Chains A and B, each alone.
Chain A
Amino acid sequence: MSGAHAHALYYHGHSRIHALPAECKIAAQLLFVFVVVATPREAVWAFGLYGAIVAALAVAADLPFGFVVRRLAIEIPFVAFALLLPFLSSGERTDVLGISVSREGLWGAWNILAKGTLGVAASVIVASTTTMPELLRGFERLRMPAIFTSIASFMIRYLDVIADEMRRMRVARLSRGHDPRWIWQARAVAASAGALFIRSYERGERVYLAMQARGYEGRMPSVGGVAATRAAWLAALTVPVVALVVCLVAWGTLR
């Protein structure tokens, strides 16, 4: 991955999806997920269509298949729970491959699996095509309160600095023969955590001082740049609108 970009989730590219303003992508993703969740689980074909939409987006964004699949791994803990549902639920039973499972549980598992995977896949596509600063700006332009975007931005900026400091402290501990194997040896680790907290706190003060020196008076200046064009919004919102049509048809056919 290109070292020039901010976060591990980002996949460098120049597709039209990469070029879309972040706020459009965030809004479209959110609406898409709402629509998917609102779709009746019995309309299996609808989820097939949603899957096709997401796959088409991934192709349009030039994301390699393997990359997206690896990112989807985040949902495994949730899927594990879903897989237990058919065995744990009560109600009408049915046989799958000779094993008796709950019909209700089976539908429940499918519901979580399908909707979860689609939601995660949509998030992966947004995250892979948007740099962290762009995401923050997108949230800012979507009128998210500045306090949230500021906190997120500080966290992103200083996570690496603090992780680095933590690594250096660990190496220094190990260099003095510390080899924690037993619980009573955790004292040094705990003390390091305390020292790290104090250091981070002090750094916070120094950062604030440096901000003041550059004229900070309690309000972050908006460096948001230009708002998204109507065309960008239209392009991005096509996705949830198409999904909404699928959803409405699904409800219609069930009646």
Chain B
Amino acid sequence: MTPALDVRRLAFSYPDGTPALVGVDLTIERGERVALLGPNGAGKTTFVLHLNAIYPAQHGEVLVGGLPATKEHLKEIRRRVGIVFQDPDDQLFMPSVRDDVAFGPANLGIEGDHLERRVMTALDAVGMSAHADRPPHHLSFGQRRRVAVATVLAMEPEILVLDEPSSNLDPAGRRELADILRSLDITMLMVTHDLPYALELCPRALIMNEGRIVADGATGDLLADEELMEANRLELPFGFYPALASERPTA
């Protein structure tokens, strides 16, 4: 079976010559939930923007379900890869939640009842269907983040990519989002600095630093490797011991 995501020797430099990615190799199988960890400036965001061909690959290639992420397949690639950006105010730009969730699938040419069904299914999945007709700026931050997830789910993507999903959420909002993400039956790549969140949600983790993947393994193992963590400017929050944390909190 073709992997959900296959990245081979991906490299990218900014126009001024600064290298951002220097040969990224990774494979994510269908149904996996993978965390992408790394310090600021490691190239994580640049990498994410390659997954749906916002940045075209300068060297190497990105295959999404076997399809190369290039200009020729732009529409299909952007359907397959759903990116939830960090600031929900960047993602939600329509005057009502319903219109915003409809934006993606409408771009794919879906309309009428079918579109309405997509919108409601996506909003149901994040528990926001009761707020369909509200303007986004009247929602709480946590609700906006959940709607942002719905805007992408409505496109029925094959991979959900989340950029810092837990940032700025209060603890309850953080937990609610975790419950929602765990309930989704979808391949997931989560970029995060929130290491306990990565451990809670993702069995596997990748560490990126200076434009390459420097470690790939079970999240618990990576977090417990002090030398590896220190070499990559990763630090566990005070009082958090991965070995003692259960993989799933008892609900």
- Interchain CB contact under 8 A, B95 and A6: yes
A213 at the interface (CB under 8 A from B): yes
Task: Please give, as numbers and ranges, the residues of chain A lying within 8 Å of B33 by CB-CB distance.
Answer: none
Task: Please give, as numbers and ranges, the residues of chain B lying within 8 Å of A210 by CB-CB distance.
Answer: 83, 85, 90-91, 93
B89 at the interface (CB under 8 A from A): yes
**Would you give the shortest CB distance from A158 to chain B, in whole angstroms?**
8
**Would you give the shortest CB distance from B154 to chain A, in whole angstroms?**
9
- Interchain CB contact under 8 A, B93 and A216: no
- Interchain CB contact under 8 A, B135 and A133: yes
* Majority-rule SS of A interface residues: helix
**Would you give the shortest CB distance from B117 to chain A, in whole angstroms?**
14
- Interchain CB contact under 8 A, A157 and B93: yes
- Interchain CB contact under 8 A, A156 and B85: no
B108 at the interface (CB under 8 A from A): yes
Query: Which of A22-30, A82-90, A92-100, A201-209 contacts its partner?
Result: A201-209
Residues of chain B in range 95-151 having any CB-CB distance to chain A below 8 Å: 95-96, 99, 102-104, 106-108, 115, 133-138, 151
Residues of chain A in range 126-161 having any CB-CB distance to chain B below 8 Å: 132-133, 136, 153-154, 156-158, 160-161
- Interchain CB contact under 8 A, A157 and B103: no
**Would you give the shortest CB distance from A46 to chain B, in whole angstroms?**
38
Residue from the list A153, A209, A214 in contact with B107, Cβ < 8 A: A214
Task: Please give, as numbers and ranges, the residues of chain A lying within 8 Å of B52 by CB-CB distance.
Answer: 213
Task: Please give, as numbers and ranges, the residues of chain A lying within 8 Å of B49 by CB-CB distance.
Answer: 209
How would residues 47 to 83 of chain B score, 1 for a CB under 8 Å from any chain A CB and 0 otherwise?
Answer: 0010010100000000000000000001100110111
Total number of residue pairs linking A and B with CB closer than 8 Å = 93
Task: Please give, as numbers and ranges, the residues of chain A lying within 8 Å of B90 by CB-CB distance.
Answer: 203, 206-207, 209-210
Residue from the list A215, A221, A223 in contact with B75, Cβ < 8 A: A215
- Interchain CB contact under 8 A, A213 and B99: no
Residues of chain A in range 182-232 having any CB-CB distance to chain B below 8 Å: 203, 206-207, 209-217, 221-223
Task: Please give, as numbers and ranges, the residues of chain B lying within 8 Å of A6 by CB-CB distance.
Answer: 95-96, 135, 138
**Would you give the shortest CB distance from B161 to chain A, in whole angstroms?**
9
Task: Please give, as numbers and ranges, the residues of chain A lying within 8 Å of B102 by CB-CB distance.
Answer: 221, 223
Task: Please give, as numbers and ranges, the residues of chain A lying within 8 Å of B87 by CB-CB distance.
Answer: 206
- Interchain CB contact under 8 A, A223 and B54: no
- Interchain CB contact under 8 A, A212 and B54: yes
Bound-state CA distance A158–B92 (Å) is: 10
Residue with the greatest number of chain B CB neighbours at <10 A, chosen from A209, A214, A221: A214
Bound-state CA distance A160–B89 (Å) is: 11
- Interchain CB contact under 8 A, B151 and A161: no
Task: Please give, as numbers and ranges, the residues of chain B lying within 8 Å of A161 by CB-CB distance.
Answer: 89, 137
Bound-state CA distance A110–B89 (Å) is: 48
Task: Please give, as numbers and ranges, the residues of chain B lying within 8 Å of A5 by CB-CB distance.
Answer: 135
B28 at the interface (CB under 8 A from A): no
Task: Please give, as numbers and ranges, the residues of chain B lying within 8 Å of A77 by CB-CB distance.
Answer: none
Q: Which residue of chain A is the closest to B155 with respect to CB atoms? A: A214
Instruction: Decide: A133 near B107, CB < 8 A? Known: A203-B90, A213-B78.
Output: no
**Would you give the shortest CB distance from A116 to chain B, in whole angstroms?**
29
B152 at the interface (CB under 8 A from A): yes
Instruction: Decide: A160 near B151, CB < 8 A? Known: A133-B96, A203-B90, A213-B83.
Output: no
A66 at the interface (CB under 8 A from B): no
Residue from the list B89, B107, B115 in contact with A216, Cβ < 8 A: B107
- Interchain CB contact under 8 A, B108 and A153: no
Bound-state CA distance A3–B137 (Å) is: 11
B94 at the interface (CB under 8 A from A): yes
Instruction: Decide: A157 near B85, CB < 8 A? Known: A215-B155, A221-B107, A223-B102.
Output: no
- Interchain CB contact under 8 A, B134 and A215: no
Q: Which residue of chain A is the closest to B119 with respect to CB atoms? A: A223
- Interchain CB contact under 8 A, A153 and B134: no
**Would you give the shortest CB distance from A214 to chain B, in whole angstroms?**
4
A4 at the interface (CB under 8 A from B): yes
Instruction: Decide: A221 near B106, CB < 8 A? Known: A213-B83, A215-B78.
Output: yes
Task: Please give, as numbers and ranges, the residues of chain A lying within 8 Å of B95 by CB-CB distance.
Answer: 6, 132-133, 136, 153, 156-157
Q: Can you list 21 contacts pairing A with B, beta carbon distance less than 8 Å?
A: A5-B135, A6-B138, A133-B133, A136-B95, A157-B135, A160-B137, A206-B90, A209-B54, A209-B90, A210-B90, A210-B93, A212-B54, A212-B78, A213-B78, A213-B82, A216-B103, A217-B75, A221-B107, A222-B106, A223-B103, A223-B115
Which A residues are closer than 8 A to B by beta carbons? 3-6, 132-133, 136, 153-154, 156-158, 160-161, 203, 206-207, 209-217, 221-223
Lowest 5 A-B CB distances belong to which pairs?
A221-B106, A215-B107, A214-B104, A133-B95, A206-B90
